[in-house]
Structure 1
């Protein structure tokens, strides 16, 4: 069955696993519960997962072709036990080859990497969503120019994988201003979230793509994203969503931020 395309929040560092006993801190439980409910809400169990994280950028779109990627603990200052987390899902080299073929067919230059570990934009949310780590997973990088229209086109090139049972996931944060931590920015975060959500859920697919590609013109856009690497996975998920309906799938408040997830199809 055709799988949806998702944009989901991956939280902050190893946020869902900060307590030594494995329990989730209260501030992160709503987000954790949303992630834990992803698989049960799908039409069927995905054959594989293709995920784009806000924590991997390359000069060209790059596919991870490794068979058993390790983990890249690309966060700092957290409890020691969070550097011993495990998520041992197999890679998906066959899917990597197919994704590369589709991207190249759309005119993109594509790189390949078989050595990089999965960054925390992959293994932290997937450890919640797929705790048994038993679904082959492919990570695809962002392109370092962070051009929104380019990432939407890349998602469009990958859309057909959904018909093969591949769940396409953009992993980022709909609000990501680290300079605002410790401040009450809820009014600003709410205003940006409302504008972004209206653009993402526009019922006209062409208008949706146009409005989201022009995200920097939204109210408080550069306050919400001084740098947009955490928003660009949304562009890929939206492109892969094609003309399917877009749904505001989840919203909660954490760290004074308003954080949303979206589903296409």
Structure 2
């Protein structure tokens, strides 16, 4: 029997849904990322757009593509990402989260929101790897999401790729909507630089207390759901992982599209 190759865990910034169609540095990065990784038998992806009050796992065997946005060009709504689900793995994840005392639930009719299918369409356009979506909790803190990841850490030894899909800096009210190439404002750069340094140093106490310690934390994330997938990925990497910055770019000023791998 083949022994699965140990996989890293990933944090990916998915940005605007237009990432699925547009040529951009972040899009080109994702186009090549899947080929750089060992081929996974399944993908578990915590999405900033799957928000619940407790951990929830999508268990549909054929999850539908959800176009959970408005006001974008019509071709975006025609995109389908027909990846299969894997109910057996979803049930296993629910059980692991339950054993960790996290009170999870299984949602057997849940589809794939754009935080899932936008990056995966560019990484794995053939859509033939089973995908299990995982929720984040907008009223939960970094520590709770890190615990969710910890409960799933052995999956990376079982051929499962764990991804957190969110945004490294995400404040829609501060974007320069008229200029995709607008320079990054100083407050966003200071927050992103602080997070980079803390991740590379694996300063877990500072990271778990990011809202109090990081500069401009509330402005960078007025609501926390787009940063919480990072802590799922960090927890799923196991004890004291090495953080590698994979990509760094931004759009519309402060929309930071950084990506990391944790080994």
Q: What TM-score does the superposition give when structure 2 sets the normalisation length?
A: 0.92
**CA displacement 1:10-33 (0-9 Å, x = unmatched):** 12123332xxxxxx24xxx11011
Q: Is the 8 A contact 1:248 1:262 kept in 2?
A: yes
Q: Which residue of 1 aligns with 2:246?
A: 249
Match 2:259 to one of 236, 239, 261: 261
Q: Which residue of 2 aligns with 1:20?
A: none
Q: Is the 8 A contact 2:166 2:227 kept in 1?
A: yes
**CA displacement 1:165-220 (0-9 Å, x = unmatched):** 000000001000101112755222211110011111214xxxx3222111112001
Segments of 4+ moved more than 4 angstroms: none
Match 1:15 to one of 1, 14, 19: 19
Q: RMSD of aligned C-alpha atoms?
A: 1.3
Match 1:33 to one of 11, 28, 31: 28
Q: Which runs of 5+ in 2 are unaligned?
A: 177-181
Q: Which runs of 5+ in 1 are unaligned?
A: 18-23
d(CA) in 1 for partners of 2:184, 2:33: 28
Question: Counterparts in 2 of 1:1-265, with a 5 A limit?
Answer: 1-17=5-21, 24-25=22-23, 29-42=24-37, 44-182=38-176, 185-203=184-202, 208-216=203-211, 217-242=213-238, 243-257=240-254, 258-265=256-263
d(CA) in 1 for partners of 2:242, 2:106: 32
Q: SS state of the match for residue 228, structure 1?
A: coil
Total equivalences in the alignment: 251
Q: Is the 8 A contact 1:71 1:123 kept in 2?
A: yes
Q: SS state of the match for residue 92, structure 2?
A: helix
d(CA) in 1 for partners of 2:124, 2:257: 21
Shift in Å, 1:259: 2.8
d(CA) in 2 for partners of 1:70, 1:152: 28
Q: What TM-score does the superposition give when structure 1 sets the normalisation length?
A: 0.91
d(CA) in 2 for partners of 1:191, 1:135: 37
d(CA) in 1 for partners of 2:173, 2:137: 24
Q: Is the 8 A contact 1:89 1:134 kept in 2?
A: yes
d(CA) in 1 for partners of 2:20, 2:53: 31
Q: Which residue of 2 aligns with 1:21?
A: none
